[in-house]
Amino acid sequence: MSNATTVERAAAPAFGPACLDATPAAARAFVRASAAHPAAPVVSSPSVSPPSARPAQRRFLVHIDIDAFFAAVEVLLNPSLKGKPVIVGGLPHERGVASTCSYEARKYGVHSGMNLRNAYKLCPQGIFVRGSYQVYQAFSDKFFSILHEYTPDVEDASLDEAYLDLTRCRHLYPSFSGTARRIKERVERETGLKVSVGVGPNKILAKLATKRAKPAGFFEVEPGREEEFLRDLGIESLPGIGPKSQVILRMLNIQKIGDLWGLPRTTLHSIFGLGGDDIYLQSRGIDSRPVVTSAIPKSVSRETTFLEDLWDRRLLLAHLAYLCDRLTLALRQGHCYAHIIEVKARYSDFKTEGRRRLLITPRQEMGDVYKIAEELFLELYSGSRLSLRLVGVKASDLVRARPLSLFEPYSDRQERLGAAVDQVREKYGFGSVLTMREKMLEAIYQFEKKRGFVLKTASLTR
DNA sequence: TCTGGGGTCCTAGGACCC
DNA sequence: TCTGGGGTCCTAGGACCC
């Protein structure tokens, strides 16, 4: 299936047979030592000639992805679900979509992103689970801690997906594909979850290799066979080509990646802008993006779609307060301050609007953020006849340290209060401390519940 | 396919400045 | 003040990914 020999020859063993099966004390030492020195970004080759174009120094990238992650965790925690169609995302009557489903559920046509009612119609015997983010996060942490033992150059693409660049560590690993296989075995053994692994000279090829490998497989795009590998893949397999772009390309009679090779770069650029340049290069297997390690997040957001559309301003503001509370908790946990606060509203007709504010002094505390969010929300939702199906709040342009302001006397009162609240919540749960608005929200929910009317999906005790 | 939640990146258009 | 051109910042919104 793979020609590991080519790779093995390319990477002459730097030390003796003892390291062949290393998990490697040596690797761990190297990883620790080099973690402080990120790899230099790879300089992009301007070459745009046909598919065989490759960078001067071949890189060794591994893409690894946990199969049906949330569903697999649910099965692991409850073995009686094994072999059954498991659908994670919510209960069948709820407003929501499947975020993951087991391969057994996929046989019925259920897929992630499908709305729960339709999933239920296709698969009434399915086992519907709401899921628990904290549990998935814990599995994800374990997954990444294993990966970090092999190289410092690990990029977390999502909770269940990572890129590893082994190029800098090549002296530790006599065989790249052999190492990638061992990583796969180890993750599976230690987490109990099945993963798919792709190996290639850059991110796009490694990722497409993983797609080929699914489920639970391994695939390497061997040197010199990139063109053959790419030619017959459907355009939809290229990241960045979503439903809208597919429609446009199919009108041009472009169905496969190989068909894209006939389009000039200028044409793709004129249709898709910068995204068109990416399509041009990636369809040829050219990708110089480096593996990016542990950057500060660009944004953090929290939002809720209500079980029933709401128009009552008290309820909406109370819910906004709850979202700000969760948002600022995440900011404090990430040691981030936000320069931009944004509020989002989605009306019953699905039209979505947002309002944002740029802050001179970045913020992190509940009181500050809620005040801004409330103003933005009232600006947005004043006098509308439509009810809302969603509200959300987002913080972006994040920085680590709060710069001092010349014009505001610095007081850490808010920060100390926030830290104290966080501590109590860590010990006794989120619901152990609530703002006035949240208490009101909780009271209204309880009241409505007694009348048999359930208002929302999220729970304040989260 | 009546469409979640949490992200990333890109673009168009207006304001403002020189 | 019937008015050019370019640069930059900001806001709003959309496509896309998992």
| CATH number of domain containing A352 | 3.30.1490.100
Query: CA of A339 vs C1' of C6, distance in Å?
Result: 28
* Domain-embedded: residue A446: yes
Q: Residue A404 has which token pair? A: 């001092």
Asked if residue A359 belongs to a domain, the reply is yes
Using CA of residue A115, residue A121, residue A126, residue A130, what is the dihedral sign? Answer: positive
CA of A245 to C1' of C17 (A): 14
Q: Indicate if the pLDDT at residue A422 is higher than 90.
A: no
Shared-domain flag, residues A381 and A412: yes
At A280-313, the pLDDT tens digits run: 999 999 999 999 997 789 999 999 999 889 988 8
A298 is near strand C: CB distance < 7 Å: no
Distance CA A356, CA A338 (A): 12
The yes-or-no verdict on residue A276 having pLDDT over 60 is yes
Q: Answer whether residue A237 is part of any domain.
A: no
DSSP state of A440: H
pLDDT for the residue numbered A32: 64
Domain end among A130, A154, A170: A130
Quick one: pLDDT band at residue A448, thresholds 50, 70, 90?
A: low
Same domain, A347 and A448: yes
First-to-last alpha carbon distance for chain A, in angstroms, is: 47
Protein-contacted positions of strand B (CB under 7 Å):
1-12
Residue A441 has pLDDT above 80, yes or no: no
Determine the protein residue whose CA lies at the shortest distance from the C1' of C18: A158
One domain for residues A36 and A112: no
Q: Give catalytic status of residue A222 as yes or no.
A: no
| Residue A434 sits in the same domain as residue A345 | yes
pLDDT at A402: 72
pTM: 0.84
Task: Say yes or no: A377 and A406 in one domain.
Answer: yes
Question: Do residues A155 and A55 touch, judged by C-beta distance below 8 A?
Answer: no
Highest-scoring range by mean pLDDT, A1-10, A13-22, A425-434: A425-434
> A146 CA to B13 C1', in Å?
48
Annotated catalytic residue: which of A161, A222, A226, A342?
A161
pLDDT at A418: 81
CA distances A96 to A42, A67, A453, Å, are 41, 22, 18
Indicate yes or no: strand C within 7 A of the C-beta of A242. yes
User: Same domain for A395 and A332?
Assistant: yes
Q: What is the pLDDT of residue A8?
A: 30
The pair of three-digit structure tokens given for residue A188, joined into one six-digit string: 């599976």
Give the tokens for residue A218. Answer: 């391994």
Whether residue A117 sits in one domain with residue A26: no
CB of A299 closer than 8 Å to CB of A389: no
Q: Quick check: is A94 in a domain?
A: yes
- A445 and A365, same domain (yes or no): yes
| Protein CA at A286 to nucleotide C1' at B9, angstroms | 19
Identify any residues that bridge with A161 across adjacent strands, giving them in sequence order: A65, A158
| Closest residue, CA to C1' of B4 | A96
Nearest nucleotide to A69, CA against C1' atoms: C18
When divided into structural domains, chain A yields a total of 3
| Residue A396 covered by a domain | yes
Between the CA of residue A249 and those of A87, A204, A245, A262, A270, what are the distances in Å?
33, 20, 6, 12, 13
> Does A32 map to a domain?
yes
Assess whether A299 (CB) lies less than 7 A from strand C. Answer: no
Residue A333 shares a structural domain with residue A422 = yes
pLDDT in tens, A311-352: 888 889 999 999 999 999 999 999 999 999 999 999 999 999
Q: What are phi and psi of A158, to 5 degrees?
A: -170, -170
How many CA atoms lie less than 13 Å away from A19 in the CB half-sphere? 17
Pick the range with the lowest mean pLDDT from A70-79, A141-150, A392-401, A430-439.
A430-439
**Contact indicator for A199, A177 with CB cutoff of 8 Å:** yes
In a domain, A314, yes or no: yes
pLDDT digits (tens, 9 = 90+) for A160-186: 999 999 999 989 998 999 999 999 999
A160 touches strand C (CB under 7 A): yes
Note whether A26 and A87 are same-domain residues. Answer: no
Same domain (yes/no): A23, A120: no
Range of the domain at A125: 73-130
In Å, what is the separation between the CA of A392 and the C1' of C9?
25
pLDDT reported for residue A338: 96
Average pLDDT in chain A? 85
Instruction: Give me the CATH number covering residue A117.
Output: 3.40.1170.60
Give A177 CA → B13 C1' in Å. Answer: 50
Q: Which residues of A191-222 are buried (b: 16+ CB within 10 A; e: fewer)?
A: bebbbbbbbbbbbbbbbbbbebbbeebbbbbb
Q: At what angle do helices A313-333 and A366-380 cross, to 10 degrees?
A: 140
A378 touches strand C (CB under 7 A): no
The predicted structure's pLDDT at residue A42:
43
pLDDT tens for A385-416 read 789 999 999 999 999 977 666 666 667 777 78
In a domain, A393, yes or no: yes
More confident residue, A53 or A342: A342
Is the domain of A112 the same as that of A26? no
Residue nearest C11 (alpha carbon to C1'): A356
> Which residues have a Cβ under 8 Å from the Cβ of A244 and sit 6 or more positions away?
none
